[in-house]
Structure 1
Amino acid sequence: MEDERKVPLLKKVYYEDCPGCRIEKRKDTDDRIPWKMLVSIWIIVLGNALPISSLFPFLYFMIRDLHIAEREEDVGYYAGFIGSAFMFGRALTSVFWGKLADRYGRKPIIIIGTTAVVIFNTMFGLSVNFWMAVSSRFLLGSLCGILGPAKAYVSEVCREEHQAVGMSVITTAWGIGLIIGPALGGLLSQPAEKYPQIVSKESLFGRFPYLLPCLCTSFLAAVVAVGAFWLPESLHKHKPKSLSEDESCEALEAATHCLDDNSSGKEVRGIAENSAKSLFKNWALMSSVIVYSIFSLHDMAYTEIFSLWAVSPTTLGGLSYSSEDVGVVLSFTGFGMLVFQLIFYPYINKYFGPIMLTRICGVLSLPVLQSYPFIALLSGMSLTFLLNFASVIKNVLSVCIITSTFILQNRAVDQDQRGAANGISMTAMSLFKAIGPACGGALLSWSEKRQDSSFFPGTHMVFLLLNAVELVGVLLTLKPFLVERKD
């Protein structure tokens, strides 16, 4: 009798007018990687990532030109506020954009975010005082909420076995944006000084020496915003209509929910409401968000410190590099990271799994990072070679960690909560990243004033503290703290 009451699995139903169902149907009938959609989202994420860190190579000189710092050692202190403004703005609005993406779709939020980049990134390049620079960066962060919806989109268009490739596309675009952005900022800032035969001091770019790199990234964002209109939506949008009990079960099956024959609409609503309330109780999600936030704090502080340290005078423990030299190093780093993520990461992730890979990469980052002050003692080709090598290794390890935490987060929730879950992730990460530049700039300024200390003098202390944050992240990957959803 008990076997007779068992209900067989229902046949999955696809709604022809639902974009999410079209994506699901393609996934069920085609086992190939959706490269067309992944390339589109790669370009979109890249266009939005470029402005985030493009300011770091010239931020030192921008603060100096705005005449806000009284002493050279104070430049890093004020630079931290501008670097943090973007992340602080994004922390305030990420959950809001995530919920909108769950309600109205991924594509509208992506279009709004790229449009915000065009407007406020250009405004930052036109900044004539410190507060205009801070406010434009804050508004840019508040209105650019595309990373969460982009992660949700990739996890929805890729089959389970292609999740690592899809998330590698996101983190590669994001990581390269955070690398190529500073390269563009270093190569194109202050063009009247670097290329006087092409740009005069009386021209627009001569009067606004930091506008050219901002305009270039804004132009790419404008192209991306237009192209995003052709991006297929991935969110399920079933037209409401009166359904019988059996049809209701079929519709829910299409949305990947499996119900018994005797499930009522009231019970379904109760399940959905409990599910919506349980995001903060979902430890698989929250533990991966915490780990992701710690490593993001480290990466953002490292990104700012590296550029400021490289352009600092050798008397203060830096390399006396120009912004152009920093741009060249970061360009080489971006290329190495792209090759590794697209070719090697999916296989390494398949072998180790996201948690173990995060742990291994965190441990390997420690000696690489602590070697930087010793690299600064070199000169000539040995300095160039080792600095580029260390930069590539450090950033490859970092992007592997971020990609693995992305996979853990998106596997921890179902589609109807994915936008909100990524919004929570972005809010937590942005809060930590807002702390990163401010703390990084202040730490660098403090370290440059203690060159003769007997205990980790100068920049040795900065990289030691960065390693302390990295070590905390590694410890949080251990059981029972970090867990993975198995179903």
Structure 2
Amino acid sequence: MPEENASAPLLEKVYHADCPGCKVDRWKATNEGIPFRELFYVWLVTLCTALPISSLFPFLYFMVRDLNIAKREEDIGFYAGYIGSSFMFGRALTSFLWGILADKYGRKPVIVFGVSSVVIFNTLFGLSTNFWMAVSTRFLLGSLNGLLGPIKAYAVEVSPKKHQASALSLVATSWGIGLIIGPAIGGYLAQPADKFPNLFPKESIFGRFPYFLPCLCISLIAVGVLVACIWLPETLHTHKETRDHISYDPLGASEDGSAFKVKDEQTERKKYPSEENLFKNWPLMSSIIVYSIFSFHDMAYTEIFSLWAESDRKYGGLSFSTNDVGQVLAISGFSLLVFQLFLYPPLERLFGPVSSSRIAGVLAIPLLSTYPLFSMLSGAGLFVVVNFASLLKNILDIIINIGMVILQNNSVEQHQRGAANGMSMTLMSIFKSVAPASGGALFSWAQKRQTASFLPGDQVVFFALNVVKLLGVLLTFRPFLTLRNEPPST
């Protein structure tokens, strides 16, 4: 009864004066509002992480051409895939390590080191003079950039429980915007000596290195984020009693709001005995696998979209310039921001992360099926249709990504969250490292079969993307995907 709950003694959590994690928990115990300042830092760091990942895609086609590695025009997509994959391959090798380091030494040191790597190696990529320099600088950028896993854990830990979904939505929003604005920067600022000869003469460094300017701009943004990290509070607990004492979530109130719930972490572990071993935590592992499959699709789509849009119409493309692709992606990025801030939270509350992901996955399949038809359009009609399709496709993808991230962070306790996100990043990066190479090879092969009787040209490319998306949707159902409060199927 409410009266009994109100009169029950409350167990107070012990706060340690020298523990940065306790300082954050004490703030959350007395403030139920949104931590705007901390989430602003989260937004900046996530944006800094996302910008260099796909900023190269609008100019990658032309960069490979200028590096003179491809002997035929149809082979450009093949070599572009290797440059696109090198970042994710590097990240796949080190993401789990960065998660462990974040759990041991704190989120902030890993975040600061990752931002510093963006400043250095993204700049060097823009100065690449040959194919192997481009591949190696992208590989080092990926392997030393362990930001995304720790920043997801940080977003959850810095937010009161009722705002954690919004915090993860903010991470996904900033990530999605970065993956859209990054290509917009790459598209508008690549080859400046050709586009703005009065500002950037052919003899200048930007004329000799036509893809340096967009990389330099992103590196300068990273410098600003690095300065902002000075005020980033640490959230990791540093005292030994963190995992042993009985504690309560100050915002885990009962439905009538009359009393706080008390949670014994050791009792929780008895309910979920496999949580200590992350590999045996099936709610976590199943959500990571589904997330990785959708990530493979998203990365392959990102690479293929730019290659397809910029390829000649005789190969089924749209003959877009880097400016055209950048403009399409910039419009999609702004729309993502509006959607995430105002529409996603009520959508998640209405359908939940799993159902909303399924709906988005199902809707994306017929949308992608229409892409090969766009080459039949021209002028303003083509511009409107491509922008609407890109906008809708990115919104559907971000709904799925946020849902999977929520499931992953709800599957573990705080002391394992960094490692869990690192594990997620590792598997996701493996899938994403394969995606650009696979997508580039598939795109190159498709351009050579324009007269095939079955799925000619680019039709086979978008058909393959739909097969991957369908597989991801099917795996969101039981018995594969299991939530934490559900027993695994036997």
TM-score category of the 2 structures, normalised to the smaller one:
over 0.9
Q: Once the two structures are superposed, what CA deviation does each residue of 1:98-139 show, in whole Å capped at 9, x if it has no partner?
A: 000001111110000000000000010000000000000000
- Bigger mean CA deviation after superposition, 72-81 or 14-23: 14-23
TM-score (norm 1): 0.92
Q: Once the two structures are superposed, what CA deviation does each residue of 1:312-331 show, in whole Å capped at 9, x if it has no partner?
A: 00000100010111000000
- Contact 1:12 1:250 (C-alpha < 8 Å) held by counterparts: no
What letter corresponds to residue 253 of structure 1 in structure 2? I
Deviation of 1:160 (Å) = 2.3
Query: In structure 1, how many angstroms separate the alpha carbons of the residues matched to 2:243 and 2:292?
Result: 39
Residue in 2 that maps onto 1:391: 390
Query: In structure 2, how many angstroms separate the alpha carbons of the residues matched to 1:349 and 1:392?
Result: 19
Residue in 2 that maps onto 1:39: 40
Residue in 2 that maps onto 1:252: 245
Deviation of 1:44 (Å) = 1.1
Residue in 2 that maps onto 1:23: 24
Query: In structure 2, how many angstroms separate the alpha carbons of the residues matched to 1:213 and 1:250?
Result: 46
Query: In structure 2, how many angstroms separate the alpha carbons of the residues matched to 1:90 and 1:24?
Result: 31
The verdict on how the C-alpha distance between 1:251 and 1:280 changes in structure 2, with shifts beyond 3 A counting, is closer
What letter corresponds to residue 439 of structure 1 in structure 2? S
What letter corresponds to residue 45 of structure 1 in structure 2? T
Deviation of 1:255 (Å) = 8.4
Residue in 1 that maps onto 2:366: 367
- Contact 2:336 2:395 (C-alpha < 8 Å) held by counterparts: yes
- Contact 2:11 2:247 (C-alpha < 8 Å) held by counterparts: no
Is 1:440 equivalent to 2:433 in the alignment?
A: no
Residue in 2 that maps onto 1:3: none
Give unpaired runs (5+ residues) of structure 1. Answer: 1-6, 241-247
The 5-angstrom pairing of residues 11-90 of structure 1 reads: 11-90=12-91
Deviation of 1:249 (Å) = 9.5
What letter corresponds to residue 59 of structure 1 in structure 2? L
The 5-angstrom pairing of residues 187-206 of structure 1 reads: 187-206=188-207
- Contact 1:46 1:174 (C-alpha < 8 Å) held by counterparts: yes
Query: In structure 2, how many angstroms separate the alpha carbons of the residues matched to 1:54 and 1:392?
Result: 18
SS of 1:99's equivalent in the other structure is: helix
Query: In structure 2, how many angstroms separate the alpha carbons of the residues matched to 1:291 and 1:158?
Result: 26
SS of 1:145's equivalent in the other structure is: coil
Query: In structure 1, how many angstroms separate the alpha carbons of the residues matched to 2:295 and 2:80?
Result: 19
Query: In structure 2, how many angstroms separate the alpha carbons of the residues matched to 1:146 and 1:172?
Result: 16
The 5-angstrom pairing of residues 349-360 of structure 1 reads: 349-360=348-359
Aligned alpha-carbon RMSD (Å): 2.1
What letter corresponds to residue 318 of structure 2 in structure 1? L
Deviation of 1:38 (Å) = 0.8
Is 1:121 equivalent to 2:122 in the alignment?
A: yes
Residue in 1 that maps onto 2:135: 134
Query: In structure 2, how many angstroms separate the alpha carbons of the residues matched to 1:164 and 1:386?
Result: 32
Q: Once the two structures are superposed, what CA deviation does each residue of 1:405-444 show, in whole Å capped at 9, x if it has no partner?
A: 0100000000000000001000000000001100010111
SS of 1:200's equivalent in the other structure is: coil
SS of 1:412's equivalent in the other structure is: coil
Deviation of 1:158 (Å) = 1.6
Residue in 2 that maps onto 1:343: 342
Residue in 1 that maps onto 2:156: 155
- Contact 2:275 2:281 (C-alpha < 8 Å) held by counterparts: no
Residue in 2 that maps onto 1:380: 379
Q: Once the two structures are superposed, what CA deviation does each residue of 1:295-319 show, in whole Å capped at 9, x if it has no partner?
A: 0000000000000101000000100
Count of aligned pairs between the two proteins: 465
Deviation of 1:8 (Å) = 7.5
SS of 1:201's equivalent in the other structure is: coil
The verdict on how the C-alpha distance between 1:249 and 1:415 changes in structure 2, with shifts beyond 3 A counting, is closer
Residue in 2 that maps onto 1:244: none
SS of 1:38's equivalent in the other structure is: helix
Q: Once the two structures are superposed, what CA deviation does each residue of 1:327-362 show, in whole Å capped at 9, x if it has no partner?
A: 000000000111001111011001101111111100
TM-score (norm 2): 0.92
Query: In structure 1, how many angstroms separate the alpha carbons of the residues matched to 2:247 and 2:369?
Result: 52
- Bigger mean CA deviation after superposition, 148-157 or 191-200: 191-200
Query: In structure 2, how many angstroms separate the alpha carbons of the residues matched to 1:461 and 1:342?
Result: 36
Deviation of 1:177 (Å) = 0.6
- Contact 1:94 1:426 (C-alpha < 8 Å) held by counterparts: yes
- Bigger mean CA deviation after superposition, 251-260 or 370-379: 251-260
- Contact 2:275 2:412 (C-alpha < 8 Å) held by counterparts: no
SS of 1:198's equivalent in the other structure is: coil
What letter corresponds to residue 178 of structure 1 in structure 2? L
What letter corresponds to residue 207 of structure 2 in structure 1? G
Residue in 2 that maps onto 1:216: 217
Deviation of 1:198 (Å) = 1.5
- Contact 1:116 1:144 (C-alpha < 8 Å) held by counterparts: yes
The verdict on how the C-alpha distance between 1:275 and 1:8 changes in structure 2, with shifts beyond 3 A counting, is farther
Residue in 2 that maps onto 1:308: 307
Q: Once the two structures are superposed, what CA deviation does each residue of 1:223-252 show, in whole Å capped at 9, x if it has no partner?
A: 1112112101111122x6xxxxxxx69962
Q: Once the two structures are superposed, what CA deviation does each residue of 1:363-420 show, in whole Å capped at 9, x if it has no partner?
A: 0000111111112210111101010000000000001100110100000000000000
